[in-house]
Amino acid sequence: MSLRKRISLRNTLSFRLTLWYAGIFALSSCVAFLLFYALITSFMREQTDQDLLAQVNRFSTLLVSEEIEAVKSAAIIEAQAAGVKKVFFRFLSLNGQVFSSSNMAYWKNIDVHETAIKQLLRDRSHVFETITIPQRKEKVRILYAVLGPTIILQVGQAMESYSRFLDAFKGIFISTMTFLIVVAAGIGWFMARRAVSGVEAVTRTAQKISGGTLEERVPVKTNGDEIDQLAVTFNQMLDRIQTLLTEIKEMSDNMAHDLRSPITRIRGIAEVTLTTGKSLSEYEAMAASTIEECDRLLDMINTMLMISKAEAGVDHLTREEIDFAGVVQEACRLFEPTAEDKGIALSCHLPDESRFLGDTRMIQRMLSNLLDNAIKYTPPGGSVSVSVSENHGQVVLSVEDTGVGISPRDLPHIFERFYRGDESRSQTGIGLGLSLARAIARGHGGDITTTSNPNQGSTFTITLPKSLPSHS
């Protein structure tokens, strides 16, 4: 394995999780071992101390009924019976002088500790100590106890079996732990691999997508766990990106198409005038047509810019108090002559006052797009009715006409940029009016909806919150 690969393995989540599993396992096992060890040690010491105290009690009872000589002999016999390498007895005077003992050949290195004698004589009935015989690495538990008014008994017991048990315990623990830590690391690695396999699937899909295949999706299992949720969210994000890209592509196709028509016309008029035109009036007509086409182009570009601005959200809108009823009344007044010319009855039903925070210029543009459409798509003799009301802290604008209506086929698409219904081909327009109206409504935190029946008319309803949503 190359150095780079090794480094990257060490950086993987699986590796780190495995280390954590194994580390936590090892740490908790060590804590458990130490607790056990301490418990066993104290239990065994307690046991030894009980044995030593029992010996002392036996000899002091004996001393009550027998002479000291009999007690000394009993001690020698007791040491031989237990094993001279296991137990020893020493009889001391109160100043620590040894006046009798069991066989001490094995215990030559063990002295009488002055401090222990002092402690014993001060206030204690017995004193324990543990000493290690350096050459043998063996521990001995020693008890000093007052046996009679002038006699101190020193009893020692080898803790050899106790040390052997603890050494065996340590050995078994270390080998078991080593085995279990290896197993825990293996299980940890397996579990970590399983946990991150979902993330790897997302990564692989992301890599394929960056390679150009936006149709790829992450396979979703049915566990419903966090990884599944990640996969579902990732797929939803991809769906959204794909839809947006399709929309952008369609929009740029439509835009290219809509830009080409006026430019082709401008070029055609200029070419015809140059090749055939002789008089000044013909050149004037060409200039007028060019201005007209340029205005159309500028209108389209400005509308696109306005849509982008409205879609960029609330941060890009002006916040000012708008007298909405007044703005709608003004718009109705402006469109009155056009409606009248076409023989359409335009009526406005407005409350005395309806105010909210928003961008006046944008709101005016939205209104004029809706009114323009209503009059444009309503044949002479029809009517257009505009009304404003308030509902649950929202301002509701409704523009209702008795016009040609929108076919169910067109209805889902009318808010798309450059989309124009089949019925509207005979009318002027570039297919951006409703896109802008919706962008403005949404930019103000509201929305626009439509209901329509072909040949009966359409109703556009806009709801706007009374205050702009807060900056995010």
Rounded to whole angstroms, how far apart are CA atoms 142 and 312?
88
Near ligand ADP by CB under 6 A: residue from 96, 382, 431, 446: 431
Q: Which is nearer to ligand ADP, 139 or 420 (by Cβ)?
A: 420
Near ligand ADP by CB under 6 A: residue from 139, 420, 438, 444: 420
Q: Which is nearer to ligand ADP, 152 or 441 (by Cβ)?
A: 441
Rounded to whole angstroms, how far apart are CA atoms 158 and 167?
15
Site for ligand ADP in 365-394 (CB under 6 A): 369, 373-374, 377
Q: Can you spell out the DSSP letters for 100-163?
A: EES--GGGTT----HHHHHHHHHT-SEEEEEEEETTTTEEEEEEEEEEETTEEEEEEEE-HHHH
In the complex, the smallest distance separating the C-beta of residue 364 from ligand ADP, rounded to whole angstroms, is 16
Q: Does 410 bind ligand ADP (CB under 6 A)?
A: yes
Near ligand ADP by CB under 6 A: residue from 23, 277, 313, 429: 429
Q: Does 421 bind ligand ADP (CB under 6 A)?
A: yes
Beta bridge partner(s), residue 59: none
Contacts with ligand ADP: how many residues (CB under 6 A)? 24
Q: Which is nearer to ligand ADP, 146 or 384 (by Cβ)?
A: 384
Rounded to whole angstroms, how far apart are CA atoms 464 and 233?
30
Near ligand ADP by CB under 6 A: residue from 18, 48, 458, 463: 458
Q: Which is nearer to ligand ADP, 403 or 446 (by Cβ)?
A: 403
In the complex, the smallest distance separating the C-beta of residue 213 from ligand ADP, rounded to whole angstroms, is 34
Measured from the Cβ of residue 395, the count of other Cβ atoms closer than 10 Å reads: 24
The two three-digit tokens of residue 84, written as one number: 């001279």
Rounded to whole angstroms, how far apart are CA atoms 320 and 468?
10
Q: Does 406 bind ligand ADP (CB under 6 A)?
A: yes
Considering only 163-171, 228-236, 276-284, 431-439, which stretch makes contact with ligand ADP by CB under 6 A?
A: 431-439
Rounded to whole angstroms, how far apart are CA atoms 428 and 431?
9
Q: Which is nearer to ligand ADP, 273 or 424 (by Cβ)?
A: 424
| Nearest alpha-carbon partner for 451 in 442, 441, 461 | 461
Rounded to whole angstroms, how far apart are CA atoms 289 and 284?
9
Q: Does 441 bind ligand ADP (CB under 6 A)?
A: no
Near ligand ADP by CB under 6 A: residue from 382, 403, 445, 446: 403
Rounded to whole angstroms, how far apart are CA atoms 146 and 409?
112
Q: Which is nearer to ligand ADP, 326 or 412 (by Cβ)?
A: 412
Helix, strand, coil abundance in the chain, percent, nearest 5: 60, 20, 25
| Nearest alpha-carbon partner for 129 in 24, 45, 241 | 45
Q: Does 344 bind ligand ADP (CB under 6 A)?
A: no
Q: Does 454 bind ligand ADP (CB under 6 A)?
A: no
In the complex, the smallest distance separating the C-beta of residue 402 from ligand ADP, rounded to whole angstroms, is 10
Q: Does 440 bind ligand ADP (CB under 6 A)?
A: no
Rounded to whole angstroms, how far apart are CA atoms 193 and 228?
15
In the complex, the smallest distance separating the C-beta of residue 259 from ligand ADP, rounded to whole angstroms, is 15
| Nearest alpha-carbon partner for 209 in 185, 228, 235 | 235
Residues that bind ligand ADP (CB under 6 A): 369, 373-374, 377, 401, 403-406, 410, 414, 419-421, 423-424, 429-435, 458
